[in-house]
Structure 1
Amino acid sequence: MSTTFPGWTSLFSGTNAVRALALAGGVALQAINIYIATTILPSVVADIGGLDYYAWNTTLFVVASIVASALSARLLRRSGPRGAYVVAAALFGLGTLVCAAAPSMPVMLAGRLVQGFGGGLLFALSYAMIRLIFDEALWPRAMALVSGMWGIATLVGPAVGGIFAELDAWRAAFWSLIPVTALFALLATIVLPRRGATDAAPQPLPLAQLVLLTLAVLTVSAGSVPSGLAWNVAGVAAAALLTGLLVWVETGARQRLLPRRSFVVTTPLGALYATMSLLAVAVTSTEIFVPLFLQVLHGQSPLLAGYLAALMAAGWTVGSIMSSGADERRVGRAILAAPALALLGMATLALLIPTPSGGEWAALGPICVALFCVGFGVGLGWPHLLTRVLRTAPRDEQDLASASITLVQLFASALGASVAGMVANIAGLTEPGGIAGTAGAARWLFAGFALTPLLCLLTAARIAREIGRR
């Protein structure tokens, strides 16, 4: 049985167009900031130091976003769509101010923490409201649009970050976000309703799970600091123990972060969450280091390196938009193609990026294709994975399912970024450093994380079989 979904015209007409603009705007602000920060980080480290904590800029940002995503439903219920978005934008702006004025890496990390909290609220609210304000038939299109804002970010973020980095004015890149944030808050007060449609009684927050989740990410991040192999292994082991404890507590808890049986990979929901997590890790874990690798190993400027790194997100956007209108017969094939293409791209990058070049396009061209291939593969399946989470979750846990979309993605991204930092440091990024150390880090990073799409082939195949039986 095939289902035909409404076209893009239905999403971009009348009231739907204004609603779509509001949701897409929140994600765009978060995404553009991420690519600005990724592009200028080499310049930041060169100015204020802190190479050992390079990956922590992403880890702390995402940890704060995870906590914010868990709190987003409560903020939405209490403040309404308009108030929630304004609060999120204000927090994001405050964190950006701290980053712009940071005299040292610890202050920068504090700013990234606040910035990540505000940005995480914007990110989670945008996804959570799709189920509330659009008809179900428009969910795949709306998911693709919101995800597609990362494509806008690939154009704007690296340009802003790269230009200011080349002018030796990386602080101005953060300052430039302040008026944009203010304009976004003003837009929210105009186009979003004051109150939401839900009057559900507030539920207690699953504090134990949130604490364990945060500790797991921070522990593996602490282990990624180059203090010796024993310290690195201890960090991973502690994080694995905390994650196992999180699963145990969540399984028996009355107040949960995820819908029932989400941690059982053999269930439809468990397979969906596992596939989402593995695909998110494949992109996030490696993407943050691509600008550094391209600058050190392939002689690229900060601007061009930022744009080339953004090819993963560009491919994600193109893949999402292209597959968003797929009927049921093609959805299974799109989900199965996602890890296959990501695996092909990661394996290619493991071969090509560690080999230094003078920046000739004969060497960069295949790297660009591989970067795009990884993102394109993930994008093919992404809107359908998110939509199926909402359709598969029990009716009495739809709020949990909505919030879980960003929670699972961000948790996987945080762990991936932390482990990536550990792998890169162990492989020689900081010691011996230089060309040889960076090449070793690139080789081990891409080869190691190629295992994630390889494992994802198993869970994606299960989802595809389930779809084929319907």
Structure 2
Amino acid sequence: MSIQIFEVEISVSASSVARGSTVGCVSIGEGNSGAWVEDTAPDGAAPGGIFGRGYRTITVGICALIVLSAFEALAVTTVMPTISTALNGASLYALAFAGPLAAGVVGMVLAGNWSDRGGPRGSLYASVVLFVAGLAVVGTAHSMAVFLAGRLVEGLGAGALTVALYVVVARAYPPALHPQIFAAFAASWVVPSLVGPVVAGLIAQTLGWRWVFLGVIGLVAIALAMVIPAMVRLRGSAEGAAVPWNVGRIGWSLLAAAAVLAVNLLADAKGWLLWIGPAAAAAIALLALRPLLPRHTLTADAGLPSVILSRGLAAGAFFGADVYIPYLLTVRYGFPPLAAGLSVTASGLTWAGGSWLQSHLGVRLSHVRSIQFGALALSTAIVAACATAVLVLPPAVAIAGWAVAGFGMGLMYPRTSVATLEYSSVEKQGFNSSALGIADAIGASISLAATAIVFSALAGLGGPWPFAGCFALTTLPAVAALVLARRIGQSQ
């Protein structure tokens, strides 16, 4: 199972340009404290865009980092059965997926705090080192326990990398270039979505599964080398230097990560523990989550709290249902695995398309409307999947519906991202960016555990009901995100 939680396929609308001040032909964005100043046009745009003078190398470098991170997130799904057999690790199979997700929460908090203290440079370097170290441990592991340890380190680095790159964009690019660079991030997930599993399978069959991980290390080093020159010019902000290490928040992130792991592990429990165990672990996760998010997020206060909460709800709805679409096509319609994966490919392509569309519409499509349309599309798609299961509709209904879901996510995710930046002062960019990623991880993880419980509980009924139960459950957070969208545009 592959969960694209840590992707940063976000685009920023042209409205963010208004946050910068233009003096002559030089634009200095409010969110760019600590960045260098580039020559720009009167409207704040830079000649040549993100591939123009001064931006080409860093653009290619950070997009390459995202491509490689995306490839690893997708490729591991293909090779995990082989790894489990080779390392006798069937009992730890689920942890190989849940572990990096949980560790990523800790990485996000650490990177956010570090970036707020002195800029994203140090946290970016550290996240890449951790990511590479994790790949090295995984690729050389001779036991499932060591493999799992490497996956935890890899997840820690991947989570931190997401936040670090987010802050790099906020400070290194003028606001007029945000739509282009974040749309490029979206495109950076398309190719891995299409060819990642196939390439991983070929590598595993020809060179061995270890090279799926070890082969990426050199490519990561090249990508980082392209980013370093730009990072040398990127200074930490004066405001950020005054931000202390928040040891308490880091401790809460560790508790949240442990609770996330427990929720997923207990989803396979039996009897009364199947219901009480995950519920207790989820309650602990939500308790630990409060200090990691902006105040009043869980009560959906207007402005930034609703932005963060809607992101978590959207992640829970989409990823909770996403894993059951191919399963439905395989079990109920007899699709082979490759054909069943068409739904995932379709949603990945339309996700990028939705992201591109909303970035080009800019201020003509408000944040609220973009999120409302996206949540409506997601809700409709999940209902279509449920109807397909219950009424035995043609499988094309579910596949087309999930393409609509991807388009809706492409509309929603970018606007929650830009809204987070717009509501963030320089000294809060790291914290709020990490909160956005944490909402992703927690929302998706809890939803996946909840759907696993429902599927197990209804399995005895047979027929379409296990699938119908999962789709019905994930409709709830999608509808909640739709209702919550109006509060995103209200004053805090």
Pick from 44, 48, 51: which aligns with 1:12? 51
Q: Kindly provide the amino acid, as one letter, of the partner of residue 414 in structure 2.
A: P
Q: CA deviation at 1:119?
A: 1.4
Q: What does 1:40-439 align with in structure 2 at a 5 Å threshold?
A: 40-45=79-84, 54-76=93-115, 84-102=123-141, 105-164=144-203, 169-193=208-232, 196-199=235-238, 200-205=241-246, 206-225=249-268, 227-246=269-288, 250=291, 257-288=292-323, 290=325, 294=329, 298-299=333-334, 303-306=338-341, 308-331=343-366, 332-352=368-388, 363-393=394-424, 397-428=428-459
Q: CA deviation at 1:321?
A: 1.3
Pick from 455, 462, 469: which aligns with 2:487? 462
Q: CA deviation at 1:72?
A: 1.0
| Partner Cα separation in structure 2 for residue 440 and residue 325 of structure 1 | 41
| Percent of aligned positions that are identical | 24
Q: CA deviation at 1:129?
A: 1.4
Superimposed CA distance per residue, residues 370-413 of structure 1 (whole angstroms, 9 cap, x where no aligned partner): 22211110111221211112212456534422332323222323
| Partner Cα separation in structure 1 for residue 359 and residue 125 of structure 2 | 30
Q: Kindly provide the amino acid, as one letter, of the partner of residue 476 in structure 2.
A: L
| Partner Cα separation in structure 2 for residue 132 and residue 117 of structure 1 | 23
Superimposed CA distance per residue, residues 103-153 of structure 1 (whole angstroms, 9 cap, x where no aligned partner): 555444322211111211222211121211122343344333324422232
2:72 matched to 1:29? no
**TM-score with structure 2 setting the length:** 0.78
Asked if 2 retains the 8 angstrom alpha-carbon contact of 1:85 and 1:188, the reply is no
| Partner Cα separation in structure 2 for residue 184 and residue 83 of structure 1 | 16
SS in 1 for 2:126: helix
| Partner Cα separation in structure 2 for residue 450 and residue 54 of structure 1 | 28
Asked if 2 retains the 8 angstrom alpha-carbon contact of 1:390 and 1:398, the reply is yes
Superimposed CA distance per residue, residues 49-95 of structure 1 (whole angstroms, 9 cap, x where no aligned partner): 66665543332111111111111145557897555434323322232
| Partner Cα separation in structure 2 for residue 340 and residue 160 of structure 1 | 35
Superimposed CA distance per residue, residues 261-282 of structure 1 (whole angstroms, 9 cap, x where no aligned partner): 4333132122111211111112
1:448 — aligned with what? 473
Equivalenced residues, count: 447
Change in Cα spacing, 1:421 to 1:62, as seen in structure 2 (3 Å) is same
1:254 — aligned with what? none
Q: Kindly provide the amino acid, as one letter, of the partner of residue 341 in structure 1.
A: A
| Partner Cα separation in structure 1 for residue 181 and residue 357 of structure 2 | 13
**TM-score with structure 1 setting the length:** 0.81
| Partner Cα separation in structure 2 for residue 394 and residue 305 of structure 1 | 44
Q: Kindly provide the amino acid, as one letter, of the partner of residue 449 in structure 2.
A: S
Q: CA deviation at 1:28?
A: 2.1
| Partner Cα separation in structure 2 for residue 280 and residue 377 of structure 1 | 12
| Partner Cα separation in structure 1 for residue 208 and residue 398 of structure 2 | 29
- Superposed CA RMSD: 3.6
Asked if 1 retains the 8 angstrom alpha-carbon contact of 2:190 and 2:352, the reply is yes
Change in Cα spacing, 1:21 to 1:371, as seen in structure 2 (3 Å) is same
Asked if 1 retains the 8 angstrom alpha-carbon contact of 2:294 and 2:305, the reply is no
Superimposed CA distance per residue, residues 238-287 of structure 1 (whole angstroms, 9 cap, x where no aligned partner): 13431453366x3xxxxxx3334433313212211121111111222233
Superimposed CA distance per residue, residues 197-237 of structure 1 (whole angstroms, 9 cap, x where no aligned partner): 33513512223422332233123123212x21411212232
Change in Cα spacing, 1:189 to 1:244, as seen in structure 2 (3 Å) is closer
Where structure 1 has 5 or more consecutive residues not aligned to the other structure, the ranges are 251-256, 357-361
